[in-house]
Structure formats: C-alpha cells, structure tokens
Amino acid sequence: MIKDIEILYIDDELNNLFGFKANFRYSYVIHTASSTVEAQEILIKNPKIRIIFCDQRMPNELGIDFFDRIKKDFPRPIRILLTAYADMETVIDAVNKGNIFRFVRKPWIEEEMISCIEEADKFYTANSMLDIKNEELEKAYHELDKFAYSVSHDLRDPLTGVLSAVKLGLKFDQVDQIHELLGLMDGSLTRLDLYIDSLRDYYLLRRGELMLSTINFSELFNDIQAFYNMSVRNNDVDL
C-alpha cells in the first residue's frame, strides 16, 4: 500500500465514515465529510486528494450532482459513486454528468474497496502524466510561436538593408559611391551571417552545449549609422 494516497470519503451516515477510516487509515491518508459542502471545503484545503468516494443519496444534493458541480474546479481527483440503488437512470446520469470512474455497492466489501482504490490511483497517475505532457506541449507551441516571429523579424532586417542599398546604388554612377554601398551591404550580410550563427547557438543551448560570447553594441550601432548617413547625404536631408 502507498501511504501518501489521499482519499476523500463522503457519507451522511457517521458509522460509515468511522468504518471507512478505521479500515483504511493505516494504508492511506483519509479525509471524511458528512456533507457535500464540507467535502468541497476539504478539497480546497487538500489539493493532493486523488480519489473521492461519495454516497449517491446525500441530503440536499445527490452524489452525481456534486460530482458534476466540482469537476470543473477539481478535474483530477477520480470520482467513485457509492450507492445501494444502481438503476439505469443513475448509471446514465453518472456517465453523462459526473464522469464517474466506478460504482461501488453499499455495503461495500474491504477487498473490493482496496481493488477499486488501486485501479483509481493508476488511472489518476496516468491522467496526471497526460496533463503534464499537454502543459509541456502547450508551452513548447508558445515558445515556437515566439521563436518563429523573432526569426522572421531578425532575418528581414539585414535583408531589408541590402535591398535598400541595391535600390540606392542603382541611382549612382560614381564608383566610390557604389563601393561605399557595397561596404554597407557587406555589413548587412555579415549581421545576417551572425544571426544564423545565433540560431545555431540557440540549438546548442537547447542541448546544453552553448558557448557564450560578448556582443559589441558599438560596432553594431556604427554599421546602422553608416548606412543611414549615406542615405541622408544622397537625399539632401538636413539634420
């Protein structure tokens, strides 16, 4: 038995609560409630509860209705319905509304309850692992979206610089002006090459193999300034 499995047992008959706790308190962590209102308060205070047993014939609220009401706020605990009356309508409502994992007839048998708890715990573990994987997948998709935007933006910037230089160069006839533009284009292509290297670094970072280096922002700003200085001069812009 695994002592850290937490179970909530809900029944309005106190003898049933005492009997359940007496039988299983050495094997599991047991919480008991005599009403669905009390049960909900216990769930709020004990988020590690894995399995909920609830009697169908509770005062003021049927067990199925209670399970239906809490499944949004407490989706992970496995729900098991206790009932002495397993009519077809109850079965259908349990499946459609309460997402019941299993029925247990009252009065229950200890061996049957142990088997039920073990099966429910395996199901809880499988569902929890699936939830974790789904959360990781959603996070990965979010990171991929941000990465795709960053790549498209940072690849476009140096290419735009080269394209602007080409368009500007088509208006020049003097070799020295064209040479200056070629220098600016070379700077843009160098930045593009560095960015491609940074993509490789990102891949290595994901694998834990990244080698960090410093960034010379002065050199980066000088390249940008050189391009715009030439554009300003050739368009007779007064600063």
188 contacts: CB under 8 Å, gap ≥ 6? 158, 159, 161, 162, 165, 223, 227
Q: Rounded distance, CA 150 to CA 138, Å?
A: 19
Provide mean pLDDT across the span 52-62: 92
Looking at residue 13, its pLDDT comes to: 93
- Top mean pLDDT of 42-51, 77-86, 94-103, 137-146 is at 42-51
In sequence order, the 6+-apart residues with CB closer than 8 A to the CB of 207 are none
- Is residue 16's pLDDT more than 60? yes
Residue 31 has pLDDT above 80, yes or no: yes
More confident residue, 179 or 33: 33
Per the prediction, the chain carries an average pLDDT of 79
- Enumerate domains of the chain plus CATH numbers: 6-108 (3.40.50.2300), 143-234 (1.10.287)
Pairing relation of β-strands 49-55 and 29-33? unpaired
Q: What is the pLDDT, as a whole number, of residue 182?
A: 72
Q: What is the predicted pLDDT for the residue at 46?
A: 96
pLDDT for 160-171, tens place per residue?
A: 777 776 776 666
- Taking the CA atoms of residue 229, residue 230, residue 232 and residue 234 in that order, the dihedral angle to the nearest 10 degrees is 160
pLDDT of residue 52: 97
Residue 1: pLDDT band (50, 70, 90) is very low
Closest to 97 in 3D by CA, of 121, 66, 74:
66
- Cα 236 from Cα 224, distance rounded (Å): 19
pLDDT digits (tens, 9 = 90+) for 188-234: 777 777 777 777 666 666 655 555 667 777 876 776 676 666 666 66
Q: What is the mean pLDDT of residues 103-115?
A: 89
Residue 9: pLDDT over 50: yes
Cβ(120)–Cβ(78) under 8 Å? Answer: yes
